[in-house]
Structure 1
Amino acid sequence: MLELANIQPTDIVMDLGSGDGRLLIAAAKAGAKKSIGYEIQHWLVKQSRELAESEHLSDKIEIYPDSFWHVDVSNTNLVLLYQISYAMKGIEEKLQKELPVGARVVANGFKFPKWKEEKTIGNVRLYIKK
């Protein structure tokens, strides 16, 4: 996923459904300015925070115990997704409304119904908000 993301030092990365935080850690290590995750499973939030602390990346990573459906994503320029197929339409609509033009979205596994892929590697797709 990070190969397609092409992380830059100015990137504010958001992982919607951040799980155990491994993508947040990888994005921070790749040089992102900030990595922000949202995860509804509290035990995964705790695990992610502990991992960020153990990697000495707590200053670059924020993890919140919340559903991304309630979050404003307008302050990010790179979104990472590893979601389930039936959620993709709703996520696409949310991102279309809230993301700034030019923001990148890297989705693993499933496609957006309307957005055109800019690049694909295996099941990972890069989209750019128009």
Structure 2
Amino acid sequence: MPKRMLVPYLALCLLPAAAHAEGAREPDVVRVGQQETVQKDVPFVPTREETVKRMLGMAGVTKDDVVYDLGSGDGRIVVMAAQKMGARAVGVDIDPERIREANDNARRAGVTSRVEFRQQSLFDAEIKDATVVTLYLLPSVNLKIRYKLLTELKPGTRIVSHDFDMGDWRPDRKESVGDDTVYLWIVPASVEGTYGLTVPTARGETPATLTLRQEFQDVSGTLKLNGKSLPLAELILQGDAISFRTAEGPELHFRGRVEGTRIHGNVMPSGGQSRAFTATRNGSGS
């Protein structure tokens, strides 16, 4: 991927997705005599209990969360999320033997009313209602599923992976648990583009143009005001929350929320009062 995006944000992951597109919809089945075995994307290797605790802890799982474990194996992450944190949880695994084992473990833990296990390919799973997604896959599989995670999950959804990263998508946090590594990402809103807005200046409310460039959660940009292009500093994008300030010219501090093609929030001029602003992405209509 080029260092600086020249195409819209969601195209960042098209190459990994395209690489997987052929054959992603149906798992391969190998028939041996009268038996059928499912070709799995990832071998089953259980995660240690201490690592499971750290994964759920880093994601800040509470009773209000919906946790999806993609490649859920024996269901230990799903069961712990429900039993210890009170969350609702869904496990997805293509192996029917693992699904049976996971359901047995949920019954023994007394959490069957809060969990569900689905036998299907993780690439086919409906995940849009997840607030937390957990993974213990492989580097190549993480790259293949990255596009799905970025396009189907809501901004602010937390993703936690045991041992393997997401390529050039920088983790928001990384911790060691013994010999294991746990990575955390927060799904960023899509903000790439040019926006129209008005900002308070000494001349009153003044039309301005905000241009944002994005590489996952890393954002840079400029504010064009009174004919001058002012660089922005301290840009922070976490989920749908964004903040930044002008690095030159009139000192303006912005803090807002991304809602589709608009950013709503407040702008604080130096020595002035906070005022509401709405920035609308060009081409998005009124």
With normalisation by structure 1, the TM-score equals: 0.95
Q: In the alignment, is the contact (CA less than 8 A) between 2:61 and 2:87 conserved in 1?
A: no
Matched residue type, 1:127: W
Given candidates 168, 185, 190, the residue that maps to 1:127 is 185
How many pairs are equivalent? 130
What is the Cα deviation at residue 72 of structure 1? Answer: 1.8
Matched residue type, 2:114: K
Greater relative contact order (Cα < 8 A, sep 6+):
1
Given candidates 67, 71, 75, the residue that maps to 1:17 is 71
C-alpha distance in structure 2 between counterparts of 1:93 and 1:85, whole Å: 14
1:103 aligned residue = 157
What is the Cα deviation at residue 3 of structure 1? Answer: 2.2
C-alpha distance in structure 2 between counterparts of 1:115 and 1:30, whole Å: 30
2:230 aligned residue = none
Structure 1 residues 105 and 44, CA, compared in 2 at 3 Å: closer, same or farther?
A: same
Unaligned runs of 5+ in 1: none
The one-character-per-residue Cα deviations of 1:11-67 (angstroms, maximum 9, x if unpaired) are 000000000000111111232431100011101100000110111100011001111
Of 70-79 and 30-39, deviating more is: 30-39
1:63 aligned residue = 117
C-alpha distance in structure 1 between counterparts of 2:187 and 2:86, whole Å: 19
C-alpha distance in structure 2 between counterparts of 1:30 and 1:100, whole Å: 25
| Rg comparison, structure with higher value | 2
C-alpha distance in structure 2 between counterparts of 1:32 and 1:68, whole Å: 24
User: Aligned with 2:107: secondary structure?
Assistant: helix
1:88 aligned residue = 142
C-alpha distance in structure 2 between counterparts of 1:71 and 1:86, whole Å: 18
Q: In the alignment, is the contact (CA less than 8 A) between 2:134 and 2:160 conserved in 1?
A: yes
C-alpha distance in structure 1 between counterparts of 2:134 and 2:128, whole Å: 14
**Alignment of 1:8 onto 2:66:** no
**CA RMSD between the two structures:** 1.0
C-alpha distance in structure 1 between counterparts of 2:169 and 2:154, whole Å: 15
1:29 aligned residue = 83
C-alpha distance in structure 2 between counterparts of 1:79 and 1:95, whole Å: 9
1:116 aligned residue = 170
What is the Cα deviation at residue 115 of structure 1? Answer: 2.3
Q: In the alignment, is the contact (CA less than 8 A) between 1:119 and 1:125 conserved in 2?
A: yes
Of 26-35 and 10-19, deviating more is: 26-35
What is the Cα deviation at residue 116 of structure 1? Answer: 2.2
What is the Cα deviation at residue 109 of structure 1? Answer: 1.0
Q: In the alignment, is the contact (CA less than 8 A) between 2:96 and 2:119 conserved in 1?
A: yes
Matched residue type, 1:57: V
Unaligned runs of 5+ in 2: 1-54, 189-286
Matched residue type, 1:128: I
User: Aligned with 1:23: secondary structure?
Assistant: helix
What is the Cα deviation at residue 5 of structure 1? Answer: 1.8
C-alpha distance in structure 1 between counterparts of 2:57 and 2:63, whole Å: 15
The structure richer in strand per residue is 2
Q: In the alignment, is the contact (CA less than 8 A) between 1:35 and 1:60 conserved in 2?
A: yes
